[in-house]
Amino acid sequence: MKTPKALLYGGDYNPDQWLAYPGVIDTDFKLFEQAHINTISLGIFSWASLEPEEGRYDFGWMDAIFARAQRQGMNVILATPSGGKPNWLALKYPEVRRVNPEGVRDPQKARHNHCLTSPVYRQKVRAINEQLARRYGNHPSLALWHISNEYGGYCYCDLCLGAFQDWLKAKYGTLDALNEAYWCRFWSHTYTAWDQIRFIDSGVGGLVLDWKRFMTAQCCDFIRNEVEPIRRLSPETPVTTNLMGTFPDYDYWQIAKELDVVCWDAYPVWHSEETAAHESNAALNAAFRHDLTRTLKRKPFLLMESTPSQINWAPVSPLLRPGMLRLAGLQAMAHGADSVCYFQLRKSRGSCEQFHGAVIDHVGNGETRVFKEVASLGASLEKLGNVVGSATPSKVAVIFDWEARWIFESAALPMNQEKHYVDTVLAHYKPFWEAGVSVDVINASADLAPYDLVIAPLLFMVSEETGARLSAFVQRGGTLVTTYGIAAVNETGLATLGGVPGPLRKTLGVWIEEFDALPEPSRRHVVAEAGKAHGLSGSYEARHILEIVHPEGAETLAVYGDDFYAGQPALTLNRFGKGRAYHIASRNDDRFTGDFLRFLTGELNLPCAVASGLPRNVSAQVRVQNGRNLLFLLNFNGEPVEVDLGGKKYTDAETQEAVAGKLSLAAYGSRVLAEA
Amino acid sequence: MKTPKALLYGGDYNPDQWLAYPGVIDTDFKLFEQAHINTISLGIFSWASLEPEEGRYDFGWMDAIFARAQRQGMNVILATPSGGKPNWLALKYPEVRRVNPEGVRDPQKARHNHCLTSPVYRQKVRAINEQLARRYGNHPSLALWHISNEYGGYCYCDLCLGAFQDWLKAKYGTLDALNEAYWCRFWSHTYTAWDQIRFIDSGVGGLVLDWKRFMTAQCCDFIRNEVEPIRRLSPETPVTTNLMGTFPDYDYWQIAKELDVVCWDAYPVWHSEETAAHESNAALNAAFRHDLTRTLKRKPFLLMESTPSQINWAPVSPLLRPGMLRLAGLQAMAHGADSVCYFQLRKSRGSCEQFHGAVIDHVGNGETRVFKEVASLGASLEKLGNVVGSATPSKVAVIFDWEARWIFESAALPMNQEKHYVDTVLAHYKPFWEAGVSVDVINASADLAPYDLVIAPLLFMVSEETGARLSAFVQRGGTLVTTYGIAAVNETGLATLGGVPGPLRKTLGVWIEEFDALPEPSRRHVVAEAGKAHGLSGSYEARHILEIVHPEGAETLAVYGDDFYAGQPALTLNRFGKGRAYHIASRNDDRFTGDFLRFLTGELNLPCAVASGLPRNVSAQVRVQNGRNLLFLLNFNGEPVEVDLGGKKYTDAETQEAVAGKLSLAAYGSRVLAEA
Amino acid sequence: MKTPKALLYGGDYNPDQWLAYPGVIDTDFKLFEQAHINTISLGIFSWASLEPEEGRYDFGWMDAIFARAQRQGMNVILATPSGGKPNWLALKYPEVRRVNPEGVRDPQKARHNHCLTSPVYRQKVRAINEQLARRYGNHPSLALWHISNEYGGYCYCDLCLGAFQDWLKAKYGTLDALNEAYWCRFWSHTYTAWDQIRFIDSGVGGLVLDWKRFMTAQCCDFIRNEVEPIRRLSPETPVTTNLMGTFPDYDYWQIAKELDVVCWDAYPVWHSEETAAHESNAALNAAFRHDLTRTLKRKPFLLMESTPSQINWAPVSPLLRPGMLRLAGLQAMAHGADSVCYFQLRKSRGSCEQFHGAVIDHVGNGETRVFKEVASLGASLEKLGNVVGSATPSKVAVIFDWEARWIFESAALPMNQEKHYVDTVLAHYKPFWEAGVSVDVINASADLAPYDLVIAPLLFMVSEETGARLSAFVQRGGTLVTTYGIAAVNETGLATLGGVPGPLRKTLGVWIEEFDALPEPSRRHVVAEAGKAHGLSGSYEARHILEIVHPEGAETLAVYGDDFYAGQPALTLNRFGKGRAYHIASRNDDRFTGDFLRFLTGELNLPCAVASGLPRNVSAQVRVQNGRNLLFLLNFNGEPVEVDLGGKKYTDAETQEAVAGKLSLAAYGSRVLAEA
């Protein structure tokens, strides 16, 4: 299979919207050249243009675009058009439209809302995909297949529910098994026939979990149907679909298995006001999702979409400050991206994205600030092309697990406010990001062999198998950190019996009896035990969830400082096999998490991109190509900063000038340095 | 009819969830004994277990539980299972599922959502109830029938609407009468056929009121259908259903008539942050609802459910602090409960209540803090058994009237924010609770003979009949206190003509012309008239609703201090017959209400549990058995307090030690003292 | 056509609600006389009373009311009853009930919710209107036809959608033209048959715009059907319908064309707390809407409804302070009203408006404060009758354009919070209101000839035609002020190509490249360029939207003071033809807008009602009758103020006393002065 050699620079391009506007497409291709753009993503929403009526195809305009791309030496990323169904199809075949949980079928509107089960839709998609694969599958400009667009959402039609019942039958075999797995005698909900399973009751954790697993599986199956003609007719070209970071609907670990390369659409709201929540830190969030996407296949990924300017679907999206466009692009590459692509190259004139940022604005020329920044980054990227394919090795893994998140978020708990699964994972990722330590973001069933340190924040669901794997990791010498919420339920959402954390009770050496729930803005305190600091000093604030933990072999490193549980363990360490297992019993402030994880970083001698530390909101990441380190230095502050490179010597990868000692970075400034 | 002699201690028990877990039920019964638990509530959601398919019954597991209970000398409270309908029934007979106001029939989910009218459902319920009554109705361990569970909600199906039309026809006789009662010419809504009454328009007060009255009546009728086989086959065993305090859907005064004994499910969120609203004061709220439930039948009630730990359906539910479990149980008894029961005895492993507090936790043993506190209270209760049946005499009644609440809450007024019916009643109950004065909580049609003082807060609806009864009460020498909002409408929601307060105009000696509406946080002031203090001193804050009142014989005791109505009456007193009628014209601060109601307490020489006064958040209540006072002292503070018992001498009812003078109560501490 | 000579004083009257209450109507008419009430609006919701069953009419009660009115010399405003459909009609013909956007047909409830397309409804309305016109159309007391009531809302039934498809076919001719106009290739939404246009997708700006235009057209068509029998049988009597200020659903400029005289229902929430938003200033809002309503036909209008006391559908509605009732009535007249009418004359006893203010309260006599204030104003108005027909000439126009508002409010922008179309227009109206400068409120397609100054706040949509008209206005010597957001889209919602502000680029002499979006509470600064103050001084705060503007011939008058766009233009002036065109690039504080518009007021020598200026919240307006000025002075403050009348001499129009120099106005005081 061929893979693109060049760093892909470009983005979504919808020339079919402009066929009635003479000269526009000519201008576009001139501007692409001017901006060093080498890639267009084509046909993402072109179904109605390609198949204006059932079975009648029109490829003329697309042929012309392919020809232009070829003349200009550009790569084409060709989409299958299933993300937007034509009106004629949606109205002729109602079954392709989704049904909502209340049983009402969608009208034809918007996009991304087709039934994943409908045989008609699958057949129509396969037919148009076959046409595309046959016509362009071996075109020399074709670089990548872009399957559909931003898959998401659920359908509750009879076809989907029927398929779900079949999926459950295959999984559980008998209704008795399913009834036990879901604890169906509760409220008299025992199923006595498979077709009684019709309503996804949000109160039944196991059912919610299985529904989301099934919908993930159904999406995978839908993708297999989409790619069938492509694999057959265009076997050399890799296949992707654009993911969306931590998007909750599907388990991306399953989706990734269907793809040759993964990519994602990154839309942080840069320059939005920052609050205490990690979710509001755009740079941190983007970094985390880049790492998550990369880890899905543990190899370089693509940045498929991003905005060169503002977005128009957030409450407020400030202008990108000068330098921010380059900074955001280089950040993606720093974390393993082999592309910088935008949505979109030319701004639509109408409909709901007409005021979303684009490379070429409605003014239609290259005179805008945005276009100039795009062109400037394009020139730089031509000098950074050799980053393609380089690795980002990590010794630390943070677990972000869709299934654990689903069951935690749906569980009715003594604490139903301030759940914050994503933010909690971010809180435990942040100290590494701040220190320039590369992190893989894995799920709970990942192979742990590559890592020295595994952090499992809020891992609410732990099966016997996962418990055994985490235990073995520690046994073999690994360091494991768990937090409050660990192992409350098993893989069907049944509560752990016989003492939480169930399969990890021996590994962690604790029994967790119960937890206090504190409403905002209540706080309690955590203090380190004398002589056992582990990086901790003074008193920390704890909030929301505070477990009552009984050591069963574990050592107490820190205790609560107040309330009726004063003196009881807040941080424990169990030495188990050749490794160590820590448990953090309460949701603590960032200072606690930072102090403790920095201590582990030092203790385990984890590699940092810049040894001497980094200013606040400055990120440093390393990519390794043939044993040579490429250092990305990224200043997310609106003011200049100075970074101490220590004793190391570098060459600027763009200018080739030598760099060492103290390096200045402008406001939103970014540099790429090759280690000497 | 037999009534339990012992104080019932125990709670909901669902062994049918654990049939696949050998040993669990054995463990449970051992732990019950260890905790002095003498009662289990059985079968509340067991329909699917008892009748796994239509007409096929399986009582084996229940027989075994009855046998165990009998061996261990325990009481069984046996439920009818109508609160949770099996899937097979709900899917085979759609009519048993409710229809929402938009006309959509519920899917099968959750619970408490069956149609109250459906003949099929009534027949199926009667059939299973007959089986239960026949099999267990004379079992020696059977103590009580628990009909269904937490009845609530409305159904808008054609069967219900048809029954409503019939109910209206019976009530009004002619459409002309109904049209006048609802003021139907407004907006051209005159009904010209009974079956036009199909939509419960929230703007038509009389219709809303009648709909809620009808739904209450339909629930009563449903209960009569449920109990028919029970009365026939198990005539010796009393019947109850678990109520829910001030639950708004039905008028509990009507429901109570169908029952032999009343009980309720008490779920205050203990330790939640307190605000200025009385609704957030958990102890006050629980006290009020205990008194309301007791007054429903003016005899001891049962606490049917409460949590021994956290709940899991509130936003945040902190752990019960040490002592709180005992305190909450004794509070119920102090107000007239003859039981302390929990939901539930063993925590479910799955579904939406798996993380709700329980006596036996998932760990499955007696080692938890919660179990130990339950067992400790169990031991105490064995020493307090003689409280059963004792009385709680009250000379004060506060009116909490479902019908007045319904019409007030649905009325469109110049003040639609900050209506706060429940909180307003609580505000007028609180001073008595603080002073240890026992209160009955009555409705507007209650017999007033037992009382010296009746408070009618926000009694928006006053029929001619109610007006006459309140007037007669004053005439005979009673003291009546009304507030802003009095008598705005009659019993069909029509505005009072000829001058508010209509039927009370002579009694109160005032005409209420209009009222000012103030948005938050606006305030005005109320000041006592010189020489007429009635306990008042200085200036008080008034908010939200301020009536313009013209005395017509009444004396002005306090006036407004500002705005264009400065100097006009804010508190009036009318001497009428042998009694006195006060009217409070504005929503005043707690200091006003406290000063004024404490003044009346002294003036009327109302009995206080502790003569010398009580510290803040300490409650004192008295139960009287054969002329002997049992004093409950309850400290709801997180710090210790001291209570001055004055000259009286007591014996601690648990330890038998003598107690007098100043008594220390620990944080969340509670004592039961028998008066010497 | 006859027009009422007298100033109409009175309001809605619903005697059909009181037919069962002997004596009430007698009392009412006595009280009308006592209060100098000369007008009743009759039959607004009387359909069920007039036609109790299909085709059977009952006019007896209405005949009697007409006869009473005639005896008492009163005017009758007779309504057609289509605003409230009878139950028999709604249930027999379901098609007359609306369908919501989700496809669900309304139950019969409330009012104002009939389908505008249904042939059955149109036929039934025409039939009852014919009866009314035939019976009362030439009655000597009939003053005005009041067509239906407060038209509003949309219906999505098949009849409406079919009519919409026809309307689109007539407008666009071909689907190709429509697809281009809506940019339908976006997301593959190309229509290939007219009947595919079934769902009003809020993301498609052009479709949303056309839907609202169509619904406006459908309302006009419905009105034409209503008035057909009236024009035929009662040709001498003018026709109106009660509008609602800036009500968003329909474009009132189109509705007004169907009417002989316009009127509106004014319900400011007087005395509500004021915030920084102009929308919360009741007097400013009422003034603006009076001016807007008057400008619809550029002649005197009627105040058809207002409350004599509180309203009952706001969150909170304080009592009208003494004087406020008179002040609100005179304010309407000051802005061009030839009537003061109330909703309603007698307060309903039941249903959802039973606690809405009325002239005669439930007490049923003339002893209330409200009645006395109504009577007092009635006496005054008899002395002010000669105001009828007098003009309110304006040299300033502020554009309030329904279409621009619709497309701006529905557009997805980088700034989706804090859009505030109405408030932005108010902000640019306010300085004139404060200065006593009379303003016309026009739409974007209005004739600009009468004006010296035109303000176009947030005029997001500018067609080529509108652009040309605004340009010609400047060319001829007019002064135009535009703001941020100008000309972003054309008349089908397509983005302006080739550089914003498109058709105004030459006129304004600027190119607007992009805009920054700032979340609350972020602020930037605007500072005047040295020597170019134009009334500006110091530094102003800008927020929310800040455009990056490049002068192309325009002069920069003020610049941004900070951020990366510091020094770039914030206010520009282009001298174009004989006129001047200003552009305000950012949303600035009131001080900026006030300073700048006051400067223009002076520069253009615009006439002020009181030359020497006015205290805060005091309004002065002039009406001109036969060349003689009538000055209305209105104090909206809760404290007395003094107004300096300068050298002019006046006579009080009520008392005939001479007035000059400094004049005191009481709290909420108001005077009408005839210029000598």
Evaluate whether B662 touches B633 at the Cβ level (below 8 Å): no
The pLDDT of residue A5 is above 80: no
The pLDDT of residue B389 is above 70: yes
- Look up tokens 């056309």; give the residue: C210
* Contact at CB, A412 and B355, closer than 8 angstroms: yes
Q: What is the pLDDT of residues B40-90, one digit of tens each?
A: 999 999 999 999 999 999 999 999 999 999 999 999 999 999 999 999 999
- ipTM score of complex: 0.96
Q: Cα separation of A297 and A260, whole Å?
A: 9
Tell me if the domain spanning B396-603 has CATH number 3.40.50.880. yes
Confidence bin at A658 (pLDDT 50/70/90): very high
Q: Cα separation of B384 and B672, whole Å?
A: 9
Evaluate whether B375 touches B431 at the Cβ level (below 8 Å): no
CB burial string A105-133: b at 16+ within 10 A, e below: ebbbbbbbbbbbbbeebbebbbebbbbbb
Domain ranges of chain A: 396-603, 618-675
The yes-or-no answer on residue C464 being catalytic is no
Q: What is the pLDDT of residues C526-582, one digit of tens each?
A: 999 888 889 999 999 999 999 999 999 999 999 999 999 999 999 999 999 999 999
DSSP secondary structure string for all residues of A338-386: SEEEES-SB--SSSTTTTS--SB-TT-SS-SHHHHHHHHHHHHHHHTGG
C22 preceded by a cis bond (ω within 30 of 0): no
Average pLDDT over chain A, rounded to an integer: 97
Mean pLDDT of A84-99: 98
Q: Which residues pair with C33 in a beta bridge?
A: none
Terminal-to-terminal C-alpha distance of chain B: 34
Evaluate whether C80 touches C137 at the Cβ level (below 8 Å): no
Touching subunits of A (3+ CB pairs, under 8 Å) are: B, C
Give me the pLDDT at residue C518, please. Answer: 95
Q: Cα separation of C105 and C504, whole Å?
A: 45
B344 preceded by a cis bond (ω within 30 of 0): yes
Confidence bin at B276 (pLDDT 50/70/90): low
For the sheet with C75-79, list strands across it: C239-240, C142-146, C75-79, C39-42, C8-13, C339-342
Q: Do domains A396-603 and A618-675 have the same CATH topology?
A: no
Give me the pLDDT at residue A219, please. Answer: 98
The pLDDT of residue C246 is above 80: yes
Inform me whether the C-beta atom of residue B188 falls under 8 Å from chain C C-beta atoms: yes
Confidence bin at B166 (pLDDT 50/70/90): very high
Q: What is the pLDDT of residues C508-521, one digit of tens each?
A: 999 999 999 999 99
Q: What is the pLDDT of residues A458-491, one digit of tens each?
A: 999 999 999 999 999 999 999 999 999 999 999 9
Evaluate whether A104 touches C104 at the Cβ level (below 8 Å): no
Choose the CATH number for B8-155+217-387 among 3.40.1080.10, 3.20.20.80, 3.30.1490.20, 1.20.1070.10: 3.20.20.80
Length of chain C: 676
Burial of B555 (0-12, 13-18, 19+ CB in 10 A): middle
Q: Cα separation of C197 and C168, whole Å?
A: 9
Choose among B346, B457, B330: nearest CA to B405: B457
Nearest CA in chain C to A310: C414
Q: What angle do CA C100, C101, C104 make, to 5 degrees?
A: 45
The catalytic residue among B226, B258, B305, B403 is: B305
Q: Cα separation of A552 and A569, whole Å?
A: 12
* Contact at CB, C369 and B514, closer than 8 angstroms: yes
Q: Cα separation of A205 and A215, whole Å?
A: 15
CB burial string A568-582: b at 16+ within 10 A, e below: bbbbbbbebeebbbb
Q: What angle do CA B494, B498, B503 make, to 5 degrees?
A: 75
Inform me whether the C-beta atom of residue B518 falls under 8 Å from chain C C-beta atoms: yes
Of the candidate ranges A417-421, C99-103, C159-163, C275-279, the one whose mean pLDDT is the lowest: C275-279
Q: Is the dihedral of CA A279, A283, A287, A290 positive or negative?
A: positive
The pLDDT of residue C4 is above 90: no
Evaluate whether A142 touches A241 at the Cβ level (below 8 Å): no
Inform me whether the C-beta atom of residue A204 falls under 8 Å from chain B C-beta atoms: yes
Nearest CA in chain B to A415: B316
Residues 409-438 of A with CB under 8 A from B: 411-417
Q: What is the pLDDT of residues B322-342, one digit of tens each?
A: 999 999 999 999 999 999 999
Q: Cα separation of A49 and A43, whole Å?
A: 9
Kindly report the backbone phi and psi dihedral angles of residue B228, in degrees, each rounded to the nearest multiple of 5, phi listed first: -55, -55
Which residues in chain A are contacts of C209 at CB distance < 8 A? Answer: none
Evaluate whether C310 touches C320 at the Cβ level (below 8 Å): yes
The pLDDT of residue C276 is above 80: no
Evaluate whether A485 touches A552 at the Cβ level (below 8 Å): no
Mean pLDDT of B307-312: 97
* Contact at CB, C199 and A107, closer than 8 angstroms: yes
Task: List, in sequence order, every beta strand (DSSP E) within B523-627.
Answer: 524-528, 539-551, 555-560, 569-576, 579-584, 586-588, 618-625
CA distances from B178 to A93, B163, B181, B193, B206 (A): 49, 16, 5, 11, 9
Q: Which one-letter amino acid corresponds to residue B49?
A: S
Q: Cα separation of A429 and A49, whole Å?
A: 45
Dihedral angle at the C-alpha atoms of A138, A140, A141, A147, nearest 10 degrees? 20
Question: Which of B189, B410, B420, B523 is the best mutation test for C, with the most CBs of C within 10 A?
Answer: B189
The contacts of residue C314 (CB under 8 Å, 6+ apart) are: B414, B416, C269, C272
Tell me the HSE value of A25 on the side-chain side, using a 13 A CA sphere: 19
* Contact at CB, A196 and B88, closer than 8 angstroms: yes
Choose among C83, C65, C77: nearest CA to C28: C65
Distance from CA of A576 to the nearest CA of C (A): 51
Q: Cα separation of A213 and A406, whole Å?
A: 10
Inform me whether the C-beta atom of residue C59 falls under 8 Å from chain B C-beta atoms: no
Q: What is the pLDDT of residues C613-667, one digit of tens each?
A: 999 999 999 999 888 999 999 999 999 999 999 999 999 999 999 999 999 999 9
CA distances from C35 to B251, B631, C5, C7, C356 (A): 46, 65, 19, 14, 20
Q: Which two tokens stand for residue B422?
A: 């429940």
Radius of gyration of chain A (CA): 26
Q: What is the pLDDT of residues A333-380, one digit of tens each?
A: 999 999 999 999 999 999 999 999 999 999 999 999 999 999 999 999
The contacts of residue A516 (CB under 8 Å, 6+ apart) are: A524, A545, A546, A547, A548, A563, A565, B318, B319
pTM of the model as a whole = 0.97
Average pLDDT over chain B, rounded to an integer: 97
Inform me whether the C-beta atom of residue A269 falls under 8 Å from chain B C-beta atoms: no
Q: Which one-letter amino acid corresponds to residue C654?
A: E
The pLDDT of residue C364 is above 80: yes
State CA C623 to chain mean position distance: 19
Radius of gyration of chain B (CA): 26
Length of chain A: 676
CATH class of A618-675: mainly beta
Mean pLDDT of B196-206: 96
C294 membership: H or E segment, kind and range: helix C282-297
Distance from CA of C345 to the nearest CA of B (A): 14
Inform me whether the C-beta atom of residue B174 falls under 8 Å from chain C C-beta atoms: no
Cβ-based contacts under 8 A for chains A and B: 175
- DSSP 8-state assignment for residue B386: G
Give me the pLDDT at residue B614, please. Answer: 97
Inform me whether the C-beta atom of residue B203 falls under 8 Å from chain C C-beta atoms: yes
Give me the pLDDT at residue B279, please. Answer: 73
Confidence bin at B304 (pLDDT 50/70/90): very high
Q: What angle do CA A314, A319, A321 make, to 5 degrees?
A: 135
